[in-house]
Every structure is written in structure tokens, then in C-alpha cells.
Structure 1
Amino acid sequence: MILLPDAVRAMADRGPDWARWVQDLPHWTQDQVREWELRVDGTPANGSTSLVLPVITPLGQSAVLKLGFPDDESEHEHLALRRWAGHGAVRLLSAQPHRRALLLERLPTRDLNTLTDVDACEAVCALYRRIHVPAIPRLRTLTTWLEQRIAELSELPRNTPVPRRLVEHALTLARDLSAEPDGGAVLLHTDLHYDNVLAAAVADSADPWRVIDPKPLSGDPHFEVAPMLWNRWDELAGDVRDGVRRRFYTIVDGAEFDEDRARAWVILRMVHNAVWELSRAAHPDPGWLTVCVAVAKAVQD
């Protein structure tokens, strides 16, 4: 029997669906290990919504078995990884999408937290150039995401504890972006930050990093910037505005992004994050709400 990490067992507190998933996970994991003829090769770990188990394949390859909670965001993870085929991303070895079961190459544990935030931003810019390939069918689109945000912000009560001027600005940006043509859409990771980039399995100074854990969408590459701004937040203490802007402009310049488009997506994503926290979290985190507002304000002129 697989012993779940404490962090995975704690996911049962997120609600009834999570509780059922956690309860079934040990048996489900054993079934997948048997079906793919894997040998467990280490202690189980976890992501924010998954169990990650080191294994050895029947061919003797070091790999990880990832078993994810069946949420909408992870539904097409296998499609993105298959499309990237190991170019700038962890290599997918096998998948059973209906079970959210992925067999992945095993990467070193070194991530972008080992670099300064500016160097990490530059590394991510290089990864954008590898993973922002033409969009593939079946992916959810940013057009649909924008439609949802417009409805969400339009119905937001005026007494919501997010600055009203910021909400109105985000709503205007969402409407402007949704009115633009949807041509040139690329495959987006959407959650690309310091923890979701690991060192390549084979040292290569020209191509040293691989993205993991995509939550793929199809759309505008400027959507990708925000997670690099809100993560590693403690490092910005006492220098929030300048620190956020330093990261923002490093990415805009390194990726050759349009500054105004990147700014618009950052503001919209941060306001959405705040609204989601207020509407979905049983006990909204005031610290996280402060981060959301601070990032949105920092990138504004």
C-alpha cells in the first residue's frame, strides 16, 4: 500500500470531491503501478494537486508517476506535454488521461529558485521561445476565459473588498482584449513560475531547463507573465513596487513582449485571483489579497 504524504492527505479538507479522491488514491496508485509494470523507487512526494511517485520503468528508466486530481485545469496536460515532446518541457512517456495518470521522465530537483529572480525571469523568457508553439485543437481558449472574467467582474458587488477603480480597469481591459482577433494563438503553460521549471535530466548549457505541470490554454503569450511576479513574494519585502517592476520589465524585454499587452494581462489575472479568493475560499487570505492588489498596482503606469 502506498503511504500518502501528509500534504496529500490534507487535500481531503478541500471538499467532498477531494476527500473521495484522497481516499481512493492509494489503491488507484497501486493499480497504475501494476498496469504499467513499474517499480517504486523512492518516497512519494506531491504537487499542489497531485501525488508524485518515483518509479523505474520495465526498461530500467528512472521516471515519475504523477496522479492528479481531476480538475478542469489538468484535463489537457498530456496534450501539451505530447506536443512539446521534451523540447523545453518534461518528456511524457505514457498517459491515461481519464485517470489523470502521467508517466514522466525523472528530472533533477533543482528549480529556478536556485537563481536570482532576474536570472530566473531571463531563463523563463528562453523557455517561452521553446514552448509557445502554434496552438493545438481541443484546448480551452483565452477567449472563453475572458468571457468568464467579463461576466464575473460585471456581476461583482460594489462592496467587494478590492479597489473599485482596479475592478473597473480590469473589466475594461477584459472587454478590449476580447474584442481583438484570436489569430496567432499559441500553446500556453499558464502557471509558469520558479517551482514549475526543473533542470534538464542531461546537463546542457544551451538548453538547461524544462517546464513541468502545465495548465494549458490556447491564446496570447503575454498571458504568461503574472505568475513570475506573484511568486517568491517574501523576497520583495520593503521593495514591492520596484521589485515587481524589475521582474516585469526583465520578462517584457527578454521575451520581446508588447509592454501594454503584458501589463493588461497581469492586471486582469491579479484581479481575477483576488475575486476568486473572495468568492471560493472558505476563509479568504488577506495576505494573498494584498499581493494581488499590490502586483496589479505595481505594473500600472
Structure 2
Amino acid sequence: MPLVPPSFTSLIQDRPADELLSALPDRAGLPAAIDGAAWLRALPGLVESLLHDWRLSIDGTSRHGECALVVPVRRQTGDPAALKVTWPHAEARDEHLALRAWDGRGAVRLLAAEPVSCALLLERLDADRCLRAEPLLEACEVIGSLMRDLDRPALPRVDTVDSMARRWVGQLSAMTPLVPRRLTEQAAATLPGLLADAPAARLVHEDLHDLNVLAPLEDDHSRSDASDVDRPGGSPPRGWVAIDPKPVSGEWAYAVAPIVWNRADEAARASNLRTHARLRADIVTEAAGLDEDRVRAWTFVRLVLNAVRAADHAPASDDFRSRMIALAKAFTD
């Protein structure tokens, strides 16, 4: 099998350089924005360099998500690990900071990082055991419990929900006939109140859903990573683990929406979409100890934003946009 799967190449090759990454004010220690085709040409050499520098050997077939190549590797000690190399974009710039702050508690362990290369060396998890395979309501409980595990004070450099909201106001005010005006107007009216009344900012994984939660390897409890040193008795066996954080500074109520809009096939089979969608949010809310009204309000705003963004890519995104609109309506009174 090739190091870079053809399916990953097809996802990345036509992407322009990320404008948001280029616009970041403090460029020190950040990767250069690069278009997908140029990055793919450099990727094999970058992986080879990282394997050499971190004394790794390839130990299986590469996998990938939407933006990152993940290569199973072995460290010089023989321990399994995963080398993650991400196409440079703004959402990935602070992943290493969040993982370092979480230190393996509720999230994948960070073993090493090279931020300029958008490269991370991570503990290896069981990529064949993700939370998507579990019953939906149990998955919602796990997501809520992970929010408790991941809860930390916000980090200084991480992007804030407040700063991102300045972009959202413009998106919501740019009316499109493809999204009901009453939804965009309600979302625009809801957003300022959410920001004004927000609790103290926390470090939040804004893309926490069941595809971004994996089980540890079966022998995880027998390992003694550096992160376990000085913990009395070592770390106990771990349960589900969050991966691929897109860290923001905000409140956890903001982060419930992804578990609502994922698993579309199960939502499509629901006899009452309003009840089904709200039940997902309510279970996460209870497990995480969040405020129900704020969860529903944030979920509504994020669903409408998804619909508005999808309108820019019509007709290719029509199914997604229609689903976001239907779910947003489920969170209106």
C-alpha cells in the first residue's frame, strides 16, 4: 500500500492555501499556508524526515481523515505510536497545545510535536473501535462524560468563540434564499446574548463527536508512558479517548452541536426529528452537567451557521444544507 492513499490525495489536491492561517497575526512557530497539491508533493519527504528525527519505523497501513495523514509507527523502544501529519490550516494550529494541556486525560496522549510541520507523534489508539459503533444514546453519554474529563481553563493563545463570532455575524447577515430568513435572523439575534452571558472560558474541543472518539489499545493499561510518571500507582485502564481536537476558548455548551448533526442515517429514521435531536443534546447536557437552555441555543446557532456555509457550495451541499435546516428547526420554540 502507498504511504499516501489515493483517497487522501483526492481530498487534498485541489485545496487552496488556507486564508485564515495566512491571516493569523503571530506567525512565529506556525506552519506556512500552502495549497494542497504543493503540500502533497512535499509530504513523503516530510514523513521521511520525521521518521528519522523521531527514530520511528512504519508499522502498518496509513489512514486519513479530511485533513491529516496518520501513519502507524513504532518508537525506538518498540512501543506503538501514530505519526499524524496535517495539511496546514488554522483549525489545526493549536492541536498540540490542547493535547499537552489535557495530558492524556480524556484525550489522546501527545508524545512529541513539530508545530511548524503540523506534525504530531501520538499514542496509538484502536482505529477500528470508534464510538460510532456504540448505540446512539450511549454515545451521547460518553461524549458528555468526556466533556467533564477534558474540562480545563482556557489557554491564552487558543482562538476564542468571541473572536470567531465576529465572522459569524457577517455570515448570518448575508441573506441567502437557500436558508429560511427567520432562522438566520433568529440565530443573529441569539448570538449576542450568548456571548454577553457566557461563563468563564474553558478549553473546549469544538468537534467532539463519535467519530472523533476511539478506544485505547487493549494493552494500554500495561504501558508506562512518560505522561504516567509520578502518578501514584500509574494510570488506571482508560475508557474512550477523544482525538482530533479543534480547540477553542469558550464554554462546553457550544460544543454539543456536533453529536446532534452527526449520525444522519439515525436521524432520518426518527419518527419525530424534534424529539430525537433534542434528546441527543439533552443526554450530553445531563452527562456533562451543562445548562440546557444554553446548549439548545448554541446548538441552534451552529446548525444555522452550517446551513449558511453550505449554501455557498450549492448544489453539491444541498442534502447537508437541508439536514442542517431541519435540525435547526427542531431547536426553535
Hey, what does 1:168 align to over in structure 2? 185
Task: Answer yes or no: is the 8 Å Cα contact 1:190–1:223 preserved in 2.
Answer: yes
How many corresponding residue pairs?
297
Deviation, structure 1 residue 169: 0.4
Task: Answer yes or no: is the 8 Å Cα contact 2:144–2:286 preserved in 1.
Answer: no
Q: 1:33 aligns with which of 47, 51, 61?
A: 51
CA distance in 2, matches of 1:166, 1:125: 27
Cα deviation, 1:68-105, whole Å, max 9, x if unaligned, reads 01100000000000000000000000000111000000
Deviation, structure 1 residue 205: 9.1
Cα deviation, 1:116-155, whole Å, max 9, x if unaligned, reads 110000011111101011111100001101121112222x
> 2:9 matched to 1:9?
yes
Give me the TM-score of the superposition, normalised by structure 1. Answer: 0.93
> 2:296 matched to 1:296?
no
Q: 1:253 aligns with which of 279, 286, 297?
A: 286
Give me the TM-score of the superposition, normalised by structure 2. Answer: 0.85
CA distance in 1, matches of 2:36, 2:255: 28
Task: Answer yes or no: is the 8 Å Cα contact 1:248–1:299 preserved in 2.
Answer: no
Task: Answer yes or no: is the 8 Å Cα contact 2:69–2:86 preserved in 1.
Answer: yes
Q: 2:266 aligns with which of 215, 235, 241?
A: 235
Hey, what does 2:310 align to over in structure 1? 277
CA distance in 2, matches of 1:37, 1:5: 23
Show structure 1 runs of 5+ residues with no match. none
Amino-acid identity (%):
41
Secondary structure, in 3 states, of the residue corresponding to 1:90? coil
C-alpha RMSD of matched pairs (Å):
1.9
Deviation, structure 1 residue 223: 0.7
Deviation, structure 1 residue 180: 2.9
Show structure 2 runs of 5+ residues with no match. 18-34, 222-234
Task: Answer yes or no: is the 8 Å Cα contact 2:114–2:120 preserved in 1.
Answer: yes
CA distance in 1, matches of 2:38, 2:322: 33
Q: 1:226 aligns with which of 257, 260, 283?
A: 257
Tell me: CA distance 1:238–1:257, structure 2 relative to 1, closer, same or farther (3 Å). Answer: same
CA distance in 2, matches of 1:200, 1:9: 28
Task: Answer yes or no: is the 8 Å Cα contact 1:136–1:218 preserved in 2.
Answer: yes
CA distance in 2, matches of 1:87, 1:141: 22
Hey, what does 1:112 align to over in structure 2? 131
Task: Answer yes or no: is the 8 Å Cα contact 1:4–1:44 preserved in 2.
Answer: yes
Q: 2:196 aligns with which of 179, 192, 195?
A: 179
Cα deviation, 1:132-187, whole Å, max 9, x if unaligned, reads 11111100001101121112222x13x43101000000001112123235x51110
Task: Answer yes or no: is the 8 Å Cα contact 1:2–1:29 preserved in 2.
Answer: no
